[in-house]
Structure formats: structure tokens, C-alpha cells
Amino acid sequence: MGGKGGSRHMKRLASPIYMALERKSSNFIAKPRPGRHTLSTSITLASFLREKLGVAASASEARKSIVSGKIEVNGKIRRDYRYPIGLGDIIKIVPSDESYIIGIGRYGTFDAKKVEKKDHKRTLKVVGKYIGSGKKQMIRLNNGNIFHYDKEVKVNDSVIVEERKIAKVIKLEHGAKCMVVSGAHAPAVGKIKEIVKGTATRDSTVRIEGENGTFETLLDNVMAIGA
């Protein structure tokens, strides 16, 4: 018997909280293709057009728009209707010349805001670092992008990406302005008061002073957004 390939769809009732979908409007939803973002932190281009923007009346209409090259993701035409998008991505609807940046809504759900043409700066979190060929330092960002960057930067720091180049590094440290991108406190913004290193049995945590008082969350849930 031959092996079964990965499913292209998932049941709406089983979709991640991040997608923030209407769960009973139909049975299935397109499943994000593996790669740039994790399944729990992404949504497909087709779902974005149909479910979030409402510019496509059906999944078929959304696929036709994508395949015909009418959608850009971070400056490149994408023709895969299952292409995953998530935090920090900029989506452009070519015919209308409208752009949207993907952010975080309540409880860490998907959110999109319209941006002006010139306002295409993105703040992304460094989630990995390694030495590539030629002993070059490479960093991997939360949206799957990989950059060569030879200056000092650590995992969990953030970078500002402008015109496909790293313009600035934002350190995740005491006193830094940060945003909670996942969990019950998302999308709260505040200042870091303390970073508690984890142990073999406990994850690292961050204590944050926000508008509604001080709270604590996992380090993985936090992204630095300013000094």
C-alpha cells in the first residue's frame, strides 16, 4: 500500500486559535503549507482573502486571484493558495494597490492592519542563529526568513527589516519595550522589569509592567519592539 501524503485541508472545528475563524460556516479550511511559519501561527493566502478581507466570495475565487499573480507577500508574487502568512508579513493586493501588515489580536489571534505604501518596516524576532558557509553568521526570524548579519545579535532579540535589509537590532533586555505575541496577555505592550532564566524543569519567563499592572509570561511569548 502506498503512503498517504499530507492533507491539504483541515476541519474548521480543529483549526488553531490563531486563525480566529468562524467554525460552523463550513466544514473545511485550507491548511497552511509547512515551512515559513508553524501551523499554529499562520493562515493561508486563500483564507486571508476570503475570511479576513472579504475580497473573494469563495475559495475558488481566492485561488484564481492568487494563481493569476494578483497577490504579493513581502514584495514577491506568490501563486500558492496555501502559502502561509503570519506575524510581520506584508500582503499587497496588486489590482487595488492596498497593503496589509499581519499583527497580533486578542489572545494571540490573527490580525491585519492596512498600511501606507512607504510604511513597510517590519519588526521580527530572532528565533535561531548559526554559522553558515564561509563562516558567516546567519540568523533565522520568526517568519522563516534567513539573513546574513555579522553584527552582534542574540536569539530572542528583534530586528527591524526595511527593503529586505536589517536596519536595526532591538535587544530583549531589562527596560526594553515589548509586546506579548502569544498567550492570554496578547497583545499587551509594556516594559520588561525582569527576565528569569529557565531551568531543566522550568521555562524562562519575563515580568512585564503594562498599562494594567505587572504580569508574567513565557519568554517565548514576548517580542522586543523598542528601547
**C-alpha grid cell, residue 52:** 479576513
Number of domains in the chain: 3
Question: What is the rounded distance in angstroms from the CA atom of residue 125 to the CA atom of residue 138?
Answer: 14
pTM: 0.84
- Number of residues written out for the chain: 227
Model confidence pLDDT, tens digit, residues 107-154: 889 999 998 766 678 899 999 999 998 899 999 999 888 999 999 999
Indicate whether 187 and 204 sit together in one domain: yes
Indicate whether 91 and 38 sit together in one domain: yes
For residue 162, what pLDDT is reported? Answer: 86
Question: What is the rounded distance in angstroms from the CA atom of residue 78 to the CA atom of residue 82?
Answer: 10
Residue ranges for the chain with pLDDT beneath 50: 1
Indicate whether 32 and 87 sit together in one domain: yes
For residue 107, what pLDDT is reported? Answer: 87
Query: H helices within 43-105, ranges in order?
Result: 45-47, 59-67
Question: What is the rounded distance in angstroms from the CA atom of residue 136 to the CA atom of residue 58?
Answer: 46
Indicate whether 109 and 137 sit together in one domain: no
Indicate whether 159 and 139 sit together in one domain: yes
Contacts of 134 (CB under 8 A, 6+ apart): none
Indicate whether 85 and 148 sit together in one domain: no
